[in-house]
Chain A
C-alpha cells in the first residue's frame, strides 16, 4: 500500500505538449478516479505513473519514493489496460499467474491465488481457455484478475469496464468497490463515464486537454463545480446552461428573454453570466416560469422534460408522470439556492 504524489507533471511528444503541469495527491488506500473527455490525457497520466511513459518534467512518487527513473517492474503496481493486453499464447490461468511465476513463487501458491481471483471474478470455468476464445467482457475480467493476483501497492485501471454490457458493468463496479474495501489498496482508476466516477471514487480528478480542472470528492464536485466544464461533465443528465446577464439583484435575464431567480451572488447588475441549473433541481408547480414543452421522455421512474424558455432550451427531470402534450406551457420552478452562477467570459464559478 502506498500514497501516490504527482507533482507538476508535464508530457511532451516531440514538440507536442499533451500534459501541462498536472498535480494530484493520492492518499494511501484512496480510490481516485481520473475523468475527462477522450484525448484529455488520462491514459497518459496513468502510464506515467506506471512507468511506461517517460515524464518530460515534474515528479511522481509512489510510497514516498520518487519513481521518475524507476523501471515499471520495480514500482510495485498492477495495471489493467484499456485494450486488456492479455498474453495471447497463454491460457487464462497462465495469464493470471505470470507475474507470480516470474517472481519464482511456488506452483501451489500460484494456483491458490489464481483460483481465488478466478472465483471472485467468476472465471473458474474459463481458466484453461486462451484469450481469443473469450468474449470482450471475459477478457476484461481476466485482465482484472491478473491485477488482483499481484496484490500490488497501487492498482492502475484504464477504463476496465468500457467493454462490458450495462448489467455486467454495474456488477463489476460493485465488485471493484468491494475489492477496494477488502484490500484497502490505493487505486487510480481512469474512466470517461461520470457515473462510474461518481459511484466509485473517494476523490475525482476532472481533466481537460492535459490540465486538471478540479479535484474533489464526488458530491463536492456535484455541489460546487468550479467552472462550467466540470459542472457540465459531472451529473447526468447534464446541467442546463443559460447565457445572459444579471438584471437586478436576485433576477437573471436570459439572452432568450426569460427571467429566472438568482441566488445572492457577488455579481453587479449588467454583468454577463452563465446560469446553471441541474435538471433534477427543477420541478413543476405554481409560481414557476412558463416554459413550452417540446419533448417528453418517460423512463418509468421519472420523466425527462425538454422544454423551451423563450429561445433557450431547458431540460428538467421530474418524478411525476406527465401527461401534457408537446407545445403546452408548464410552469418550471427553480430553487435559487440550487442555482450555479458562472462568469460569462471565463466560465469560472462566481
Chain B
C-alpha cells in the first residue's frame, strides 16, 4: 500500500535518530557489560569475559548496599509523595481563600533545577549554620548533623525529594480528580457509603491509573537520582546515601572500569523494568478491565 510506504518514509528520520542515540548506545553498553575494559588501567585491552562482571556484582558488598539504600530511598520518597500529593490534591478540590495563589506557588519547586535544589537544601542543613539545624536546636534542643548521622542524612535526602517532586504528584492527581464524573460519588452517598468507604471503593479505583502512572514516573526518577543527593550529602556519611547512580559515578567511573560499570547499568535497568512490570501485573492489569 502506497500510504503505508509514505508512512514509513516519514517515520525514517525519527527511527534513525532513535536508533543512533537510543538503541545503539544501549546495545553498546550491553556489549561492554560482557567485557573487561579499563582503557587507562594496567591492561587496556578489551577482553571478552562472559558473565564475569555480573558474577562480580553479586559479591560486591558496596554495590549491594547501594542497591538496598536506593530501594529504601525510592520507597519512602515515592510513597510519601503519593500520600502527601493526594492530600494536597484533595485540598485543592475545595474552595478556600487564596486557593489559586497557593496552587501556583506550590508548583514552584518543579521548575528548580535539581542541582539548585541540592545546593539550597545543603545550605539549609549545613550543621550549625543551616536554618534547619539552627532552629531544631533552638526550639527543640535537637542536634541535626547530616554530615555525621547516617539516618538523618537519609531522612533529609527523602525530605528533599518529597519537597521537590510532590507538586508533580499533586498536579497529576488533581487532574485525575477533576476529570471524575460526580454522579458515582452521589450514588455512593445514597448507597450508604461513608467517606472512608467512598475513598476506598470509588475514588481510589477510579484514579488508580493516574496513581500508577505517577508511581511509575516517580519510581524511575527516584531510582536514578544523582545530582540532588550529590549536592546535599555527597553520598555520605560513609555510603549511607550513596544511591546507585551516585555509586556508579563515584566508585566505578573514577576507576575507569567501563566493563564493570556497564554491567551495573544493565542490572539497574533490569531491576527497574522488573519492578515496574511487577507493579503493572500486580495492580494495573487485573483491575483495568472496566476502564
Contacts and interface: CB of A to CB of B under 8 A. Distances in A.
Interface stretch (B31-39, B54-62, B191-199, B247-255): B191-199
B4 to A, nearest CB: 32
A77 B190 contact: yes
B187 interface: yes
B290 A98 contact: no
Interface stretch (B103-111, B120-128, B200-208, B232-240): B200-208
A81 B185 CA distance: 12
A243 B291 CA distance: 57
Given A90-B290, A98-B201, A85 B183 contact: yes
A87 interface: yes
B189 A73 contact: yes
Nearest to A98: B191
A124 interface: no
Contacts, number: 73
Interface majority SS (helix, strand, loop, mixed), chain A: mixed
A156 to B, nearest CB: 8
B289 interface: yes
B287 interface: yes
Interface in A138-158: 146, 150
B206 A73 contact: no
A99 B192 contact: yes
Given A85-B184, A87-B184, A132-B290, A72 B190 contact: yes
B186 A85 contact: yes
B219 to A, nearest CB: 23
Interface in B242-291: 287, 289-291
A221 B197 CA distance: 45
Interface string A62-85: 000000000111010111010111
A174 interface: no
Given A85-B183, A86-B184, A88-B206, A73 B290 contact: no
B216 to A, nearest CB: 20
A79 B193 contact: no
Interface residues of A, number: 29
A78 B190 contact: yes
B5 to A, nearest CB: 36
A85 B188 CA distance: 9
A102 B193 contact: yes
B291 A88 contact: yes
A137 B188 CA distance: 21
A295 interface: no
B290 A130 contact: yes
Given A88-B291, A89-B206, A130-B290, A72 B189 contact: yes
Contacts of B187: 79, 81, 85-87, 146
Contact of B192 (A52, A83, A88, A102): A102
A224 to B, nearest CB: 37
Interface majority SS (helix, strand, loop, mixed), chain B: helix
A67 to B, nearest CB: 13
Interface string A115-142: 0000000000000001110000000000
- The residue in B189, B205, B208 that gathers the most chain A C-beta atoms within 10 A of its C-beta is B189
A103 B287 CA distance: 24
A4 interface: no
B192 A87 contact: no
Interface string A18-38: 000000000000000000000
Nearest to B180: A88
A150 B290 CA distance: 23
A88 B189 contact: no
Nearest to A101: B201
Contact of A81 (B183, B201, B208, B291): B183
A50 interface: yes
Contacts of A78: 190
Contacts of B192: 73, 99, 102-103
B194 A73 contact: yes
Interface string B12-26: 000000000000000
A84 B187 CA distance: 9
A99 B205 CA distance: 17
A155 B289 CA distance: 31
Contact of A89 (B188, B194, B205): B205
B186 A73 contact: no
A330 B146 CA distance: 103
B197 to A, nearest CB: 6
A52 B206 contact: no
Contact of A79 (B184, B190, B287, B290): B190
Contacts of B197: 102
B186 A89 contact: no
Nearest to A130: B290
Contacts of B201: 87, 98, 102
B117 to A, nearest CB: 37
Contacts of A75: 190
Nearest to B209: A89
Contact of A99 (B183, B184, B191, B289): B191
Given A87-B201, A87-B202, A98-B201, 13 more contacts: A73-B191, A79-B187, A79-B190, A84-B183, A85-B183, A86-B184, A87-B184, A87-B187, A89-B205, A89-B206, A89-B291, A130-B289, A130-B290
Interface of B: 181, 183-184, 186-194, 197, 201-202, 205-206, 208, 287, 289-291
List 4 tightest A-B contacts by C-beta distance, closest first. Answer: A85-B183, A99-B191, A130-B290, A89-B290
29 contacts: A50-B186, A50-B190, A52-B186, A71-B189, A72-B186, A73-B191, A73-B194, A77-B190, A78-B190, A79-B190, A81-B183, A83-B183, A85-B183, A85-B184, A85-B187, A86-B184, A86-B187, A87-B202, A88-B291, A89-B208, A89-B291, A90-B205, A90-B290, A98-B191, A98-B193, A98-B201, A99-B192, A102-B197, A130-B289
